[in-house]
Structure 1
Amino acid sequence: DPKQSFSDFSEHDRIFNFYGYQRFGSRRPVTHLVGKALVQRRFSDAITLMLSFTSEYDSEENTKIRKFMSDESNYSEALKILPHKMDLERTILQEMIQHGDPKLAFQKLPLSIRRLFVDAYSSFIFNLTVCKAFEYGEELFRPQDGDVCYDKNAKLGKYEMDPSQHLAIPMVGHSYFKKTRFDLHISKILQDEQVSPKDFFFKEMQEISAEGGFRTASILCTNFSIEKNTASFTLQRGSFATMVMREIMKPDDPLGAGF
């Protein structure tokens, strides 16, 4: 009974702190792919992905336009028919038509958008890390000796047997901290992805470099209650309410449910 399982949900303190679909593009999950191309300095591929990557969840109209833009010889015509909502694509097309330089075209995008691509790729690696660590059998809800943790004041430090501390997992960036039990998994992921932490520093575009850092392994969900099929809770900054709702509802179609 879905209603029964909804109202009986009690594992709000055992939800992994995944980045939600929104981070990668709910209906067109391309943000992290563009980020990976940038980290690997494949600027031309990054532009191609932005313009022509298609998804089964995108609209028929958008898919048709993106397929048309997959051919560079169509750029001028595509610019004439591009919907107003595709403002980033419009900027890219204009620059590519004028200069033909993918790096210059990318630099014309707003800084917040450029940073988002690289951050999304780092987020993708974090999600993979949590998955691999869980599959390996790592304890992810209770910190262990030698772990890095956040305390109740969101201060980062070593585990000190303090019950208010919460396990933190490294985020990959150019200042990636290797000395944790999660490096086993992160190093393998980076090898498979064919990237290294130093690649997240862009000498040619330092403003989009990603330093790295830490993120709690599980969501800190407080003030949790469910009443008449309405869930109420408080999350720490940076966590996704959609991840909590997915765990509560477990929808067959997460995108259709908005999660």
Structure 2
Amino acid sequence: MIDKDLGLWYYLTDSPGISGRLRVLPEDFEVIENASRTYSDGPYLICSLTRKNWDQHRAIKAIATGLGISHQRIGFAGTKDKRAVTTQYISIYKCTREDIARLTIPGITLTALGTSQHPITLGDLESNTFAIRIRNSSGRDLNASLDEFRKRVSQGIPNYVGYQRFGVTRPVTHHIGFEILKGDFQEAVRVMIGKPGSHMEEHEQEGRACYFETEDAAHCLHLLPPRLSLERSVLHYLVSHPKDYLGAIRQLPRTLRSMYVSAVQSWIFNTTVSMRIRDGRDLFDPEIGDRLLWPDGRTDMITYATIHAARVQVKRGRCSLALALPGGSFTPGPGTDDQNIQSVLEQQGITPDMFETVSKVLDTTFAGSVRPVIMKTDLSYEIADTDPLIRFTLLPGQYATTVLRELMKGDPLHMI
């Protein structure tokens, strides 16, 4: 049911999967961000941030609070998993090594590396390297299953946007985004605070249910546990500014605000890839009307005159078959994928001008882009105490859970 709601309708492979559980311990899921860094005199302190079992947005807020600064002065290149051990780069505006040395937050280690003239921004990374242990896997011959999958993923699997973009226990991010796009900020806040999820502790469940039913910010603020600091910041704002729902949303970090709308784009991408698979259209062999993405970011629309050359270039790995992520600049072409995207937008009551409007409202940009249909990686593994330990590296915007979903074919709740 969760997969269906997130647009993840299919697997590409026919194997039964090895099942198992991820993140039994945070140490089972390690992520290291890879990026080339150069340093010079400048106002931005570049740090290595290692965190264990910390949500990224809450970690950034905790660091900002510890330093006595606004969280908006902290920049990062990508969002990493919570229940994991992650290492990434961040930049902090007008912060010193001495400030960092005095900061102590359990589960967080900050190491100052140097200064720069420029902050770190979203997308400013080269790749992420993963080392992931799968516990309680099944299957008669794990080595054979892993060898078969290693060959498959080196050729390519669907480049679905993974679970963490939407949530699994509360897969609501894209639903919030839909309401924001439609300009219904009251409903967006109601879903953000109140929509229920699974595996919630009693106080969280009670607090969310209270707001979903009553929208009484003051009362629900007393019910939500302190760890839900982002939700509580929205409620605090509504207590002092009743009915200013847009203002409440704007209290959230800009990266989080933009994530709601980008989750809509991600859902549309997943759904369109699934529609292509459903209709028996190849993910590796382009058709007339398909889009191509080149390494330099250039895109082309395949025509009758270019179809032969396009198939040669895709086969040689010089470009990728891609789908549009609709935004304010989206104009559907004649291809089947673009027509499917347009159909999905119409079914959801979304128009391209809504992306332009919300860009101004949220002070961010949703112009649209393109995303490759397939993802590839070189995967290695070892069996340690009957548990597979899998290592691979992915490009920015690709999800480890997408790789593992295709391999495990298990319960999504076992992958968070």
Question: What's the TM-score once normalised by structure 2's chain length?
Answer: 0.57
Name 1:194's counterpart in structure 2: 349
Counterpart among 133, 146, 149 of residue 6 in structure 1: 146
Rg larger for: 2
- CA deviation after TM superposition for structure 1 residue 156, in Å: 2.4
Question: 196-205 or 182-191: which moved more?
Answer: 196-205
1:146–1:257 CA distance, 2 compared to 1 (3 A): closer
- CA deviation after TM superposition for structure 1 residue 148, in Å: 2.3
Taking the aligned partners of 2:171 and 2:240, their CA distance within structure 1 comes to 28
Taking the aligned partners of 2:403 and 2:292, their CA distance within structure 1 comes to 22
1:241–1:73 CA distance, 2 compared to 1 (3 A): closer
Q: Quick one: percent identity of the two aligned structures?
A: 29
Counterpart among 94, 114, 135 of residue 236 in structure 2: 94
**1:171–1:214 CA contact under 8 A, matched in 2:** yes
Question: What does 1:158-197 align with in structure 2 at a 5 Å threshold?
Answer: 158=300, 160=310, 161-162=312-313, 163-164=316-317, 165-179=319-333, 180-197=335-352
Question: 239-248 or 132-141: which moved more?
Answer: 132-141
Taking the aligned partners of 1:210 and 1:32, their CA distance within structure 2 comes to 14
Taking the aligned partners of 1:220 and 1:31, their CA distance within structure 2 comes to 27
- CA deviation after TM superposition for structure 1 residue 185, in Å: 0.8
Name 1:64's counterpart in structure 2: 206
Taking the aligned partners of 1:126 and 1:47, their CA distance within structure 2 comes to 24
Taking the aligned partners of 2:276 and 2:234, their CA distance within structure 1 comes to 39
Question: What does 1:235-246 align with in structure 2 at a 5 Å threshold?
Answer: 235-246=394-405
Name 1:37's counterpart in structure 2: 179
- CA deviation after TM superposition for structure 1 residue 118, in Å: 0.6
**2:160–2:402 CA contact under 8 A, matched in 1:** yes
**2:166–2:174 CA contact under 8 A, matched in 1:** yes
- Deviation per CA, 1:177-218, whole angstroms, max 9, x where unpaired? 422431121111112111112211126515234111100001
Q: Which amino acid aligns with 1:173?
A: G
Name 1:123's counterpart in structure 2: 266
**1:37–1:46 CA contact under 8 A, matched in 2:** yes
Question: What does 1:70-89 align with in structure 2 at a 5 Å threshold?
Answer: 70-72=212-214, 74-89=216-231
**1:28–1:57 CA contact under 8 A, matched in 2:** no
Task: Name the structure with the higher strand share.
Answer: 2
- CA deviation after TM superposition for structure 1 residue 84, in Å: 1.9
Counterpart among 353, 367, 372 of residue 211 in structure 1: 367
Task: Name the structure with the higher helix share.
Answer: 1
- Deviation per CA, 1:17-48, whole angstroms, max 9, x where unpaired? 11111001232111111000000111110010
Name 2:254's counterpart in structure 1: 111
**1:28–1:58 CA contact under 8 A, matched in 2:** no
Question: 29-38 or 93-102: which moved more?
Answer: 93-102
**1:147–1:167 CA contact under 8 A, matched in 2:** yes
- Find the residue that maps to 2:374 and give its secondary structure: coil
- Deviation per CA, 1:141-196, whole angstroms, max 9, x where unpaired? 23345532223x34323264312211010001111142243112111111211111
Counterpart among 134, 147, 166 of residue 277 in structure 2: 134
- Find the residue that maps to 2:197 and give its secondary structure: coil
Question: 203-212 or 174-183: which moved more?
Answer: 203-212
Count residues in correspondence.
Answer: 255
- CA deviation after TM superposition for structure 1 residue 89, in Å: 1.4
Name 1:256's counterpart in structure 2: 414
Taking the aligned partners of 1:206 and 1:95, their CA distance within structure 2 comes to 17
Counterpart among 400, 403, 406 of residue 247 in structure 1: 406
Name 2:194's counterpart in structure 1: 52
- Deviation per CA, 1:199-238, whole angstroms, max 9, x where unpaired? 11126515234111100001132x2334433333232221
- Structure 2, unaligned runs of 5 or more: 1-138, 303-309
1:148–1:250 CA distance, 2 compared to 1 (3 A): same
**2:250–2:362 CA contact under 8 A, matched in 1:** no
Taking the aligned partners of 1:183 and 1:105, their CA distance within structure 2 comes to 35
Question: What's the TM-score once normalised by structure 1's chain length?
Answer: 0.89
Name 2:70's counterpart in structure 1: none
- CA deviation after TM superposition for structure 1 residue 113, in Å: 1.1
**2:204–2:223 CA contact under 8 A, matched in 1:** no
Q: Which amino acid aligns with 2:400?
A: A
Q: How large is the RMSD of aligned CA atoms in angstroms?
A: 2.1
